[in-house]
Structure 1
Amino acid sequence: MSTIDLVSNKLFEEIKQEYDKYGELSDSHISALNCMFGQPLLAALDLVDNSAVTHIVSPSEKEVYQCKHVLAILLSKAMGLCTVVEKSDEEISIILFQQEY
């Protein structure tokens, strides 16, 4: 694992703890995110604010995130703000197939 991966994982762990405790991000975490990710952060925060990250799960624990912004997915996961939808394995397979084409 690279240094940047270790740093970003630690940052998202801290964000999760902070959001669980206070229900918001501190200015220092927003600043750290901005330093690491720059311009894409604004779009990611907008997607998170608008509940645009959907986590689709199946009974066999297959999972898909419906959002093409990886940073928004990571933030939503850390903050516990993903919209969770249950689908069958077949439905998830169809979603995955559609995303490839």
Structure 2
Amino acid sequence: MASFLHDSIQAELLKHVKSAYQTSQTLPDDLLSALHFVYKAPLLQALDLVDNKSVTKLTCPAGRIAFQVLGSSGIPYICLPSSNFCSCQYYSFTVLKRSDVDLCKHALAVLLSCAMGSCQEQHVSNDRMAQTLTPGHLELGEEPPHHSHQP
């Protein structure tokens, strides 16, 4: 029941984010307060990532979707939209092990940037997506491999 309630609150908040941002390109104080009440500490850092256009939606011909979030330290992290998973250490320690918060700043930035329509988009090959989703890259927060283009 708690998970359903949380998911419903999250969906409703994100609808309000989308509506407010489409109308005024900003989020009103009452909505920011509600977001802070639900998401706590990661919110301000997530909003900073959104403002800096740090979220990129990766899609491939096979239909897979992942998000790459360039962290404040310059390290790209991979987030999976279906589970709110993130490859950062904060997610592993604070979200999964301690359950202090429900999302890390990267996963929250994905939700917010999608709701606000400010997500960058990049189409990648199936191979690149597979490499991006390789467990070694997800666990270490490493930059996904880039293919070199040779003439």
Residue 33 in structure 1 maps to residue 35 in structure 2: yes
Counting only pairs closer than 5 Å after superposition, residues 17-56 of structure 1 correspond to structure 2 as: 17-56=19-58
- Structure 2: 5+ residue stretches without partners: 70-85, 87-105, 141-151
* RMSD (Å) for aligned C-alpha atoms: 1.4
- Structure 1: 5+ residue stretches without partners: none
Identity %: 36
User: C-alpha displacement at 1:59, in angstroms?
Assistant: 2.2
Q: Aligned partner of 1:90: which letter?
A: D
2:120 corresponds to? 83
User: C-alpha displacement at 1:60, in angstroms?
Assistant: 2.6
**TM-superposition CA deviations, 1:42-72 (whole Å, max 9, x none):** 1101111111111111123211101241111
More helix, by proportion: 1
1:10 corresponds to? 12
Secondary structure of 1:64's counterpart equals strand
Secondary structure of 1:17's counterpart equals helix
User: C-alpha displacement at 1:100, in angstroms?
Assistant: 4.3
2:138 corresponds to? 99
What is the CA–CA distance in structure 2 between the aligned matches of 1:31 and 1:55, rounded to whole Å? 27
Secondary structure of 1:2's counterpart equals helix
Secondary structure of 1:31's counterpart equals helix
TM-score (norm 1): 0.91
Deviation above 3 Å: which 4+ runs of structure 1? none
Between the two proteins, the alignment pairs up a number of residues equal to 101
